[in-house]
Structure 1
Amino acid sequence: MPVLLPTLFQLDNLAGRSLSTQEKDLLAIKYFYIYWQRKYNCSFCWWLMEENYDLTEPINELGNFYHWLCADQHTQDNPQNGAVHYLNVATTKKKKTNAERAMVIIRFMRHLIRQHISTKYLNESVHECKNARKNYLDALDEISKSLKQLNKSSKSSGQSHIHGSVYKSIPNAMRKAVMVICTPSTPSKPNKLNPFLPRAKWNRQFIQLRNDLILRLYFNYGLRRGELLLLGTNSYKMTAPSPSGERNYVLIVTNLEDNYIDPRSDEPSIKTEYSHRTLSLTKRDYLHLKGFCEQYRARLFENEDVEQHDVLFTASTAPYSPLSGSTIRDIFDVIDDSIAAHFPMFRDTTLYASLPNLTPSVARHTWAYEMLTYTYNEEYRKAIKMAAHTGQVLNEKEIMENSVDKIRTLGGWSPRSDMPSHYGRRFFSEQANRKNIKRIVQDTEEIRRQLEANIESEKTENIFDEF
């Protein structure tokens, strides 16, 4: 018989995921159950029910479980010398893999908190259950931060050297190739490059349109992953007409309704108070969002047996749950593979400097780079016109500060945040390199003029003496 709690977790959280993801997550849970059996001589399911769903000790054991994995105890039928915990030197790759396995257990425990820390299972008041849930989730968040930092350091010491990518953004040509690949097929214009091709025609249209909107919101508006996952069916709006009859279209980036209980294990959230913002949409993107929501998404929830919710982007199969962060990563992975297949020049290091793999973070970095470049050029042209009329000297520092301030607001950063400069690293590097090239060209021209002048005056001997 399958173990109870992992089976419920699989049905609620993994059923709509790819088979490889299900296998990876369930394997991590299997290792945790082996760990628990060896230490406590009972199954985790039995222990948790006996302890009235008290998750304090399981949460405290997550660090020991991680070290146990790094010691390769999960690969042995009998632990060495009967020991369960002991530190061992593990490779960077192994630490990264085991950190990801521990993150799966954190998601598993968050699921247990949502399902079982309630008045239905505990003899406690609603207020006491709410406090218990908060304490458990806060403890898991702290462990999650430590594991993510470990994962990040593993990537910086390994992946960056493997791929050799200097920047986290991609060039404009590659970004346009992504948009070409993700353009949804229509009956009159099928897109053979689009990799999202489920058998059912309607399902294919839903997935392709959904994924195209996701990519456009990332690359065109610089949304964070959590912000995109929190978009609801009422997040896009049309403003009232101006006196001239003109209408604007906006996207409201904020939290979901307070009474909504998010079923996702890695619950998305708004990062800071400055992340709550209103972004202008193009008419095309507004109409596509409206059409997707009213003609495709609404059709999923016509059946009364399907639980209704207002999250904009959902899975394409019942029960049509809100998309998770891992599903977004899977979408980017598929597109990255398509780039390599259809536009191999972007992976050819003899043509391009090594470029990063596509991720939501890379999309936001790319938006920041392109937006900063565009804004800087606009500010520079304004400054030239102003200087022509007033005779003032161009202040490049002021131009740059104005440009950064504009993308700071659009990107949801605080007034004191240095993140715009971090995200626009490619732009600042290009600006510095242009100035350096300009200096070299001017210097070369000056040397050439000096050389010609000296040759004409027959002072070539002095030149060679200088060398």
Structure 2
Amino acid sequence: MFFTKTIHLSKENSKKNKIALLFDESTSSPCLYPLLFSIAVLSDKSLATQQSDMLALKYWYEFWYQKYSTTFCESFLSTKYDPNIYIKEIDNFMFFLENEKKLENNLVRLRLNSNVDYRTITKRMRSLLKYFKYLLDVYWDIRYQEIPKKDLESQRKRIDIYLNSKKRIFNKFSARSTTVKNEIKHDFKSLNNDMYKCLYEIIKPNNKDYKNINNPFTDKNTQLRNFLIVHLMINYGLRVGELMLLTTQSFKKSINSNIYNIIVTNTDDEYDHRSRKPNIKNEQSYRVIQLRDQDFKLINMYIDEIREDTGTEILFTSLKPPYSALSYSAINLIFSKIDIKFKELHPKYFDPKLFGTIEKITPHVCRHTWAYISLSYAIKKYQSEANLKRFSKISDAMTIAQEDLRVLGGWSVNSVMPSHYAKRFIVDNANLINLERISAQNLEF
């Protein structure tokens, strides 16, 4: 699929006349961005360093092709050099290396594997971060992006900080063992209740009686569209790809009842010209989710009064000609602007010195938040009903709540995600009970 090769630039027998490149087997040509990276960054490095960095990129390109059935170069170009497409895959690539270059459908935890040299993984990850830093510096620039220079610089700074933090984490691989020090965190990045309320204070749209000066979007129609995007993800657990698949026909009232539903399914819209088209993740992701009637009315108001007749049924589109369906990068940009405003208003929620903070507001944070809040609510509800003898055992409440979460979230039958959220609930609840026990003892000192 991909291979590395050392090219002799001249007949002179000198290390400076050799360059390591990454080639695509299907075209027998060098991969574009690794070629530019090699010329700009690696050409004055030792041949051994060049070969090591190109080998890391080879594994990255193999990982990307296995996951997306296209080359990373094509994806990077088609998203207009959006850094978010590689940022979100850093940890997944690390798991890919750990699992002997095989993709896993379920969540994988970094663990001790006697067949893996974790110091080599660290080396590969550092090479990859060097490549990402080059892509960020060169292409996340006013020459290629149609967003204000101030926003570009702010986002570049944020991503730089993130990449540097990842680099520090990978440097914590012990040279004497194959373990990772505890700087690698695997806690779920979800919003607590206070953060949740603050988010809604930011995204709340203007109306005739209320003007939200903290909303980062000035246009009223854009505010409502973006409010619905965040609201559907954080309250109904939609993945970003599922949100992008919604059409004007995805919302149905049940026959003979006042129950409203979201139909989550693939769509074949001939006018969907997005280069990276969204798709349903697995068979269990095809699902019907009941919708609050107020939300059903709000969506219909958006469709009837705000969304233009664009010739496509895709629900969320640009509100300006040519009314293109929103892409991954467009939705990430919406969340990026919300993130900047959130950090401006509530910096303590992002302070790494404090426990329970988050790195940024993203679509995935919305799904994590929905999952944990939903599971916590269901467990407490079912435990209460267990006390009323609906279930034979209180432990049944946990099992039923996890199954509810799996179905609503569209996880596969074998997915471990619901059990991970349940484990977090148990830990949080145990801590709360322990503190209540200490307080009840009325200890005096």
Q: CA deviation at 1:205?
A: 2.0
Amino acid corresponding to residue 105 of structure 1 in structure 2: C
Q: CA deviation at 1:371?
A: 0.1
- Secondary structure in structure 2 of the residue aligned to 1:413: coil
Paired position in structure 1 for 2:414: 416
What stretches of structure 2 of length at least 5 have no aligned partner? 1-7, 10-23, 65-69, 80-85, 97-124, 126-162, 170-181
Residue in structure 2 matching 1:291, options 301, 308, 325: 301
Q: CA deviation at 1:157?
A: 4.1
Does the 8 A contact of 1:376 with 1:403 survive in 2?
Answer: yes
Paired position in structure 1 for 2:74: 106
Equivalent runs, 1:275-424 vs 2, <5 Å: 275-298=285-308, 301=310, 308-348=311-351, 353-386=356-389, 395-423=393-421
Residue in structure 1 matching 2:203, options 147, 162, 182: 182
Deviation track 1:105-125 (CA, whole Å, cap 9, x = no partner) reads: 2226779xxxxxxxxxxxxxx
Paired position in structure 2 for 1:191: 212
Give the TM-score, by structure 1 length.
Answer: 0.60
Structure 1 residues 58, 188: closer, same or farther in 2, change over 3 A? Answer: farther
Q: CA deviation at 1:180?
A: 1.5
Amino acid corresponding to residue 220 of structure 2 in structure 1: Q
Q: CA deviation at 1:187?
A: 2.7
Paired position in structure 2 for 1:229: 244
Deviation track 1:230-269 (CA, whole Å, cap 9, x = no partner) reads: 0011111122333xxxx11111100113x63642222211
Amino acid corresponding to residue 210 of structure 1 in structure 2: R
Structure 1 residues 210, 110: closer, same or farther in 2, change over 3 A? Answer: closer
Amino acid corresponding to residue 207 of structure 2 in structure 1: T
Paired position in structure 2 for 1:249: 260
CA distance in 2, matches of 1:159, 1:82: 24
Does the 8 A contact of 2:33 with 2:73 survive in 1?
Answer: no
Residue in structure 2 matching 1:215, options 230, 236, 243: 230
Equivalent runs, 1:444-455 vs 2, <5 Å: none
Q: Confirm or deny that 1:273 pairs with 2:283.
A: yes
Paired position in structure 2 for 1:74: 40
The percentage of aligned residue pairs carrying the same residue is: 31
Does the 8 A contact of 2:387 with 2:394 survive in 1?
Answer: no
Q: CA deviation at 1:317?
A: 2.5
- Secondary structure in structure 2 of the residue aligned to 1:279: strand
Amino acid corresponding to residue 230 of structure 1 in structure 2: L
- Secondary structure in structure 2 of the residue aligned to 1:87: helix
CA distance in 2, matches of 1:404, 1:275: 16
Amino acid corresponding to residue 247 of structure 2 in structure 1: G
Paired position in structure 1 for 2:426: 428
CA distance in 2, matches of 1:276, 1:348: 38
What stretches of structure 1 of length at least 5 have no aligned partner? 1-37, 40-54, 112-142, 198-203, 302-307, 449-467
Paired position in structure 2 for 1:172: 193
Q: CA deviation at 1:193?
A: 1.1
Structure 1 residues 60, 365: closer, same or farther in 2, change over 3 A? Answer: farther
Equivalent runs, 1:111-126 vs 2, <5 Å: none
Q: Confirm or deny that 1:205 pairs with 2:205.
A: no
Larger radius of gyration: 1
CA distance in 2, matches of 1:363, 1:207: 19
- Secondary structure in structure 1 of the residue aligned to 2:389: helix
Give the TM-score, by structure 2 length.
Answer: 0.63
Amino acid corresponding to residue 236 of structure 1 in structure 2: F
Higher relative CO (Cα under 8 Å, sequence separation at least 6) belongs to: 1
Does the 8 A contact of 2:78 with 2:275 survive in 1?
Answer: yes
Q: How many residue pairs are counted as aligned between the two chains?
A: 332
- Secondary structure in structure 2 of the residue aligned to 1:267: coil
Q: CA deviation at 1:74?
A: 2.3
CA distance in 2, matches of 1:425, 1:215: 26
Amino acid corresponding to residue 281 of structure 1 in structure 2: L
Does the 8 A contact of 1:165 with 1:355 survive in 2?
Answer: no
CA distance in 1, matches of 2:206, 2:393: 48
Q: CA deviation at 1:164?
A: 6.8
Q: CA deviation at 1:426?
A: 3.8
- Secondary structure in structure 1 of the residue aligned to 2:301: helix
